[in-house]
Structure 1
Amino acid sequence: MRIYLRLSRNQKVIPFTYQELLVGVIHKWIGSDNVIHGKSGQYSFSWIQNTSATKEGINLGYNSYFFVGSLSDALIKTIIKGIRENPEMFCGVKVTDIQIKNIPDFGKSERFLMASPVLLKIKAEDKIRHVTLLDKDFEEILTNNLKRKLEKAELSSEGFSITLNPDTDYRKTKLVTYKGIENKTSLAPIIINGTQEQIAFVWCNGLGNSTGIGFGAIK
């Protein structure tokens, strides 16, 4: 399930590093006593869509929004309850409307864009390596990352794969700073092959590492 949250215009310029502010409001809506805290891969959320940038930061328009997805309907309902009790976010922004979208009926091969950059990390020789689409093994490592998540969720990973969409040349790497730490990330259209259940898992929970802090959401 997903919820799409339409937002009011901001009253103050939003900093480019607003990602951690977004994490804060989602945690507020979930609630401090929720068992979801501290667990990985339970939900994903996009960056704010339809914004305009200035030298100082970003501004929202009349059609700005972001979305939150999870396989747990209970978690989504908890977030909705939190929003209704306190729709205020940051920089004068508040949620003005909530739209619920159930999981679509996916086919065996689906094409997606990224609604936030994907962060992909592996451990190599006691060091953390950031893998981007500039690396030849990007597709393989991203696929294996999701296969492990599927298996952890007790879902089959057989036949599952992720590839870059060959029908477009759009490829972008982006250095994203989160709480003072620089992360090498990637943005590109992708194709996911698998069962309806496998693709639904990614649609709800996102791609790669750190989906719970706003990386790897797909649209």
Structure 2
Amino acid sequence: MKVPFDYQRHLVGAFHKWIGENQIHDDISLYSLSWLMGGKIVKEGFDFKYGAEWSISTYDPILLKSLISGIQQDPDINFGMTVKEITISDDPQVESIQKFYLNSPVFIKRKSGDRQKHYLFSDEESGLFMTQTLQTKLKKAGLNPEGVQVSFDKTYRNPKTKIITFNGVDCKASMCPIVIEGNPEQIKFAWNVGIGNSTGIGFGALK
């Protein structure tokens, strides 16, 4: 099946269709959506000849139940794609300093005057901003935000910049592994909610 390059908003639409009426629509996202995996780039977009895998992670068990129920009622996504199988994964085993690869690029933004500035793996401030965003999510979930630290993996040899257009806005994001320092609860939480901004529209999903 052929899927256009700008498919992300359609995944977001399917996700919100499945969870139904819910207060999370405009709230800080305690969940993350990955990109579709298993495709091959063709002229018009992506070809998922053998189907695709899509990871949705959340810290909220109630949201997870709503999601599964919604998928069972109406499994269609778009472009002829429909959910055939749901696999629930346990939280990973983690170390106090844990490296994660990405299922979607990390997007970091902050207001600079009247404009939004986007930060990449090469910017010194990126680690601080990723840490601040994770701490905000930890507080929102009622967890301890102290002592956690997020950074890009400085030893990674091939970091890349991705420019993704979402609803007409160009977003500059980073494909580079993430290193998180903290206690197991904080690190597993980060794996579930994603890193950086806009995890609810397909950024910052961790493998």
1:48-197 matches, within 5 Å, as 48-62=36-50, 64-197=52-185
Q: Aligned partners of 1:66, 1:132: CA distance in 2, in Å?
A: 25
Aligned partner of residue 101 in structure 1, secondary structure: coil
Aligned residues of 2:6 and 2:166 also touching (Cα < 8 A): yes
1:188-207 matches, within 5 Å, as 188-207=176-195
Cα distance, 1:188 vs. partner? 0.3
Corresponding residue number in structure 1 for 2:11 = 22
Letter of the 1:214 counterpart = G
Aligned residues of 2:30 and 2:137 also touching (Cα < 8 A): no
Cα distance, 1:140 vs. partner? 2.2
Aligned partner of residue 50 in structure 2, secondary structure: strand
Q: Aligned partners of 1:159, 1:36: CA distance in 2, in Å?
A: 27
When structure 1 is superposed on structure 2, of 21-30 and 123-132 the one drifting more is: 123-132
TM-score w.r.t. the length of structure 1 is 0.89
Superposed CA RMSD in Å reads 1.5
Cα distance, 1:157 vs. partner? 2.0
Q: Aligned partners of 1:69, 1:61: CA distance in 2, in Å?
A: 25
Structure 1 residues 144, 58: CA separation in 2 closer, same or farther (over 3 Å shift)?
Answer: same
Q: Aligned partners of 1:73, 1:147: CA distance in 2, in Å?
A: 20
Aligned partner of residue 78 in structure 1, secondary structure: helix
Deviations 1:54-75 (A, max 9, x none): 1111011426201111111111
Letter of the 1:56 counterpart = E
Aligned partner of residue 175 in structure 1, secondary structure: strand
Q: Aligned partners of 1:178, 1:136: CA distance in 2, in Å?
A: 25
Q: Aligned partners of 2:59, 2:117: CA distance in 1, in Å?
A: 29
Q: Aligned partners of 2:142, 2:96: CA distance in 1, in Å?
A: 20
Q: Aligned partners of 1:42, 1:110: CA distance in 2, in Å?
A: 20
Aligned residues of 1:206 and 1:216 also touching (Cα < 8 A): yes
TM-score w.r.t. the length of structure 2 is 0.94
Cα distance, 1:201 vs. partner? 1.4
Q: Aligned partners of 1:158, 1:61: CA distance in 2, in Å?
A: 46
Aligned residues of 2:28 and 2:137 also touching (Cα < 8 A): no
- Number of aligned residue pairs: give it: 207
Corresponding residue number in structure 2 for 1:5 = none
Structure 1 residues 163, 75: CA separation in 2 closer, same or farther (over 3 Å shift)?
Answer: same
Aligned residues of 1:170 and 1:189 also touching (Cα < 8 A): no
Q: Which 5+ residue runs of structure 1 have no aligned equivalent?
A: 1-9
Alignment identity in percent? Answer: 39
Aligned partner of residue 53 in structure 2, secondary structure: strand
